[in-house]
Structure 1
Amino acid sequence: MNTSSSAPAAPAPSRNPLRALARIPFGWQVLIGLALGVALGLVAASIGPVPGAGEDGGDGPNWLTTTLQTIGGTFVTLLKALVPPLIFLAIVTSIANLRQVTNAARLAWKTLLWFAITSLIAVVIGIGLGAVTGPGHRTGVDASAAQASSTQGGWLDFLTGLVPANFLGITGSAGDDGSVSLSFNALQILVISIAVGVAVLSIGEKAEPFLRFTSSALEIVQKLLWWVIRLAPIGTVGLLGNAVASYGWDAIGQLGVFVADVYIGMLLVLLVVYPVLLKANGLSIGSFFRGVWPATSLGFVSRSSLGTMPMTQTVTERMGVPRHYASFAVPLGATTKMDGCAAIYPALAAIFVANFYGVQLGVTDYLLIVLVSVLGSAATAGMTGATVMLTLTLSTLGLPLEGVGLLLAIDPILDMGRTALNVTGQSLVPVIVAKREKILDRARYDATRRTSFSAIQEEQEAARAEAREDSAERVPA
């Protein structure tokens, strides 16, 4: 009898689905989120509204639409919660970093000049497309959809918004049910941050303990923001799914010419204007787009220039822009450089509203659109992005503010493209200025390769460690 026995086979290793999901590249996770969001949105739209589920007793959203809305809203809320400390800490730290630069004032005004140049080109493209295609003449939107936006902007709002109501730039409002909601004014936080940063420069060595605190706090906020960014694929499912479920493709069909104009205009700026500017300055087009891609794609899914700011700064530094300049130019651009929200979109939207209401625009009106778009970009930092910029443009031209309501249905879909263009431009200008000022690391720029989000995170952590070492070396013994 054979007494030998074979050893029992080892059990197969258990498969952890969460671990398997984590191994999927972040870019693919986002694309999966986009596809899943569209699919779930179409399913939610096919289910239809629930009779009597609305707050006024009318039709209300079904369970799937509510779920998608909650997921997307939670993601946006998490991003917004980190924006106030991010603006303050990033601006103060970036201004303090200018101590290392001998030509800081020259870099600052050249950055602002190139912001204005690219915005001017973008708004001219928007006006040209609007003049050729005439959006608003043949739309299927009912005039009953017109309503004034609850969030409006005007030049008086912009000027008064420059004066901080308090040191934190936070305001509160009471609801009809007695609840109190808090909101922040990014423009006021920007003003406070600049003032504090200049004060830090004036004080000198005595401000070192405060700078060490702000640098440490900035690292913490950026780490929290990265954790939120990792949720972008899930947030994309909710944001895009809710947009499809709530508005469907009907809204896009009714405003087809306008939607096409906005995206064609953004693509012209992204794929024609930016490459021409890069080539004119002797820079490789492929190196730039390979380097900026992580920020561009993240801006598309997050719909937040400020939320994408740490990523934008990291990819800008990866392309050879010195950290002391990138840490100043990118935060400034995240609050004032908006080729999508503040140039192409308001120009086309103003033409759309004018055509819809039968108002003839003259040469003076088009010049006003250019002026508002180039000079009024900072107003978008104070309130609600493109909606405020649109109401600012309409009020300047004397067009009905009710026209904003005509475009609200498609705003989430347009906002993705606008933000992607915004963050790309916010990286482009520092690269061009650094090249013209001969501070760009050309070897590093030319060697730029497309990379993953995980590699970006590792580089962010390495950059923070290096910044800590630099800060420690500056501390007097």
Structure 2
Amino acid sequence: MHTASHHSSSLLRNYASILLLLAGISIGSLVGFMFGSQVESIKFIGDIFLNLLFTAIIPLVFFTIASSIANLQKTDQLGKLFGIVTAVFITTVLISAVVMLVVMLAFPLAQDPTLRAMAAQALIDNPSSVQQATGTSLAQVLTVNDFFELMSRKNMLALILISIMVGFATLRAGEKGKAFVIFLDAGNEVMKQLLAIIMTIAPLGLGAYFAYQVGVFGPQLLGVYMHPLALYYATCSVYFVIFFSLYAYFAGGRLGFTVFWKNNLTPALTAVGTCSSIATIPANLLAAEKMGIPAHIRNIVIPLGAPIHKDGSSMSSIIKLALLFAMFGKDFSAPEMWFAILGITVLVSVVAGGIPNGGYIGEVFAITAFGFPMEQALPVAMVIGTLVDPIATLLNANGDLVSAMMVTRIAEGKDWLRKRLGSSEANSNI
């Protein structure tokens, strides 16, 4: 009895931030509905919240990525293993994105006039923002010509590239770089805590934003979210059961399928309960050990996967972009846009940190890349991001576990599971 009440209280604690956020949004919407355009006077609260978030994003991205790579164990097979891990991560993220893209093309979102009105208002407020993404060369997207320009969120890709290189440079520095690894780890932890502090005012900030949106653009805004959310939850559930089963089958045949679903429950519940891939690392590592995944593989795939491998985030990125395209009257079904959408999605799922609500970093990047006005687009993307967080985290975190199986299958051959479990059975019987 005691454990049941303890379990429900811990579940409530884990969901507290999402429940508070939903409460903030609901109250804000109600206030906007009741007071109409008078609520413009509280919009500044939303602006403060977003400004704090924008300020924290740059160091957070740098420390998350650089520390992940700097902490890899250096072995002879690191290069080969890193190649396999990268291929598996990118393939699964692309598959999940394509699945979601097909669903969004099959059930398109209506281009809502309410959203269009918001977009028009945004253009009046900020006409330069749409020009941002046009006329930039690949060199300008991937690099900057001065260090301080890395500090701008407009140069997110250049920052990621440098963060990865700093991580590898730290690895190469070996013993002499040890102190720098400690610095990166400390920076990563501090930035996660900073984001946690900023997120405590999210219910207030987003509540104020919603009061403003509903007050100025009418309550029909709320109806806009129902269609994409229903599509997202249905698609993710199907993807989780069918595609993860296929991945497990590829990794170890029938035995792989059984072993995955048998050991998958604790990580799955941890992911849904905490809404954090990072928080699911211990449960994932334990499950991977029980599944017979070798230590040198699980110790790279799972910690590295938490911040950079996200099937669920790639699917939510597609749904956010579909909604923004509808909002700003852009054609989502144009084939030439698909490659851009998929490319951005893969990058976004890499950028999004393994923290509750870490997807906001990715959202900023996607919005900037397509030239949508940040002030209007980000709150919409954030709300969708919050509502899809539990199931997105389930796919993100569980995706790391099934990926570790697939990496082992490619690195160790198709009989790896029988050999590993056979020897562990023998050991346990002694």
The two structures have a TM-score, normalised by structure 1, of 0.61
State how 1:28-39 maps to structure 2 within 5 Å: 29-30=16-17, 33-34=20-21, 36-38=23-25
Match among 317, 323, 335 for residue 342 of structure 1 = 317
Which residue is 2:306 aligned to? 330
Match among 166, 176, 180 for residue 209 of structure 1 = 176
Which residue is 1:449 aligned to? none
Query: For the structure 1 residues 243 and 326, does the alpha-carbon distance in structure 2 shift closer, same or farther, using more than 3 Å as the test?
Result: same
Which residue is 1:105 aligned to? 83
Paired with 1:159 and 1:422, the residues of 2 have a C-alpha distance of 32
Which residue is 1:242 aligned to? 208
Query: For the structure 1 residues 42 and 413, does the alpha-carbon distance in structure 2 shift closer, same or farther, using more than 3 Å as the test?
Result: same
Contact 1:266–1:417 (CA<8 Å) still a contact in 2?
no
The two structures have a TM-score, normalised by structure 2, of 0.67
Task: Provide the identity percentage.
Answer: 11
Aligned length: 367
Paired with 1:84 and 1:129, the residues of 2 have a C-alpha distance of 34
Deviation per CA, 1:409-459: give whole Å up to 9, x if none: 6344223236656544432432222122348999xxxxxxxxxxxxxxxxx
Contact 2:36–2:214 (CA<8 Å) still a contact in 1?
no
Which residue is 2:288 aligned to? 320
Paired with 1:96 and 1:330, the residues of 2 have a C-alpha distance of 17
Matched, 1:114 2:82: no
Deviation at 1:83, TM superposition (A): 0.7
Match among 140, 153, 163 for residue 133 of structure 2 = 153
Contact 1:222–1:310 (CA<8 Å) still a contact in 2?
no
Matched, 1:220 2:186: yes
Structure with a larger share of its residues in helix: 2
Query: For the structure 1 residues 224 and 74, does the alpha-carbon distance in structure 2 shift closer, same or farther, using more than 3 Å as the test?
Result: farther
Deviation at 1:162, TM superposition (A): 0.9
More displaced stretch, 89-98 vs 234-243? 89-98
Deviation per CA, 1:187-246: give whole Å up to 9, x if none: 222212333344455x4xx52221x22331233234324534654773232233223322
Deviation at 1:268, TM superposition (A): 2.4
Contact 1:48–1:61 (CA<8 Å) still a contact in 2?
no
Cα root mean square deviation, aligned = 4.4
Matched, 1:135 2:110: yes
Deviation per CA, 1:280-313: give whole Å up to 9, x if none: 32232644431312452x5xxxxxxxxxx64465
State how 1:365-444 maps to structure 2 within 5 Å: 365-377=333-345, 380=348, 381=351, 385-386=362-363, 389=366, 392=369, 410-417=380-387, 423-438=393-408
Deviation per CA, 1:399-418: give whole Å up to 9, x if none: xx78x998666344223236
Paired with 1:411 and 1:437, the residues of 2 have a C-alpha distance of 33
Paired with 2:266 and 2:135, the residues of 1 have a C-alpha distance of 40
Deviation at 1:326, TM superposition (A): 2.2
Unaligned runs of at least 5 residues, structure 2: 1-8, 249-256, 290-297, 353-359, 418-430
Contact 2:24–2:206 (CA<8 Å) still a contact in 1?
yes
Deviation per CA, 1:162-189: give whole Å up to 9, x if none: 1243457624xxxxxxxxxx65733222
Matched, 1:80 2:53: no
Which residue is 2:150 aligned to? 170
Which residue is 2:294 aligned to? none
Paired with 1:405 and 1:78, the residues of 2 have a C-alpha distance of 15
Deviation per CA, 1:24-61: give whole Å up to 9, x if none: 963254255236524652575345666xxxxxxxx951
Which residue is 1:290 aligned to? 269
Write the letter of the residue equivalent to 2:402.
I
Which residue is 1:92 aligned to? 69
Write the letter of the residue equivalent to 2:176.
P
Write the letter of the residue equivalent to 1:30.
S
Deviation at 1:126, TM superposition (A): 1.6
SS at match of 1:339: helix
Deviation per CA, 1:356-406: give whole Å up to 9, x if none: 58x7x8xxx54334322222335545997446536756x8xxxxx78x998
Contact 2:141–2:157 (CA<8 Å) still a contact in 1?
yes
Pair member with larger Rg: 1
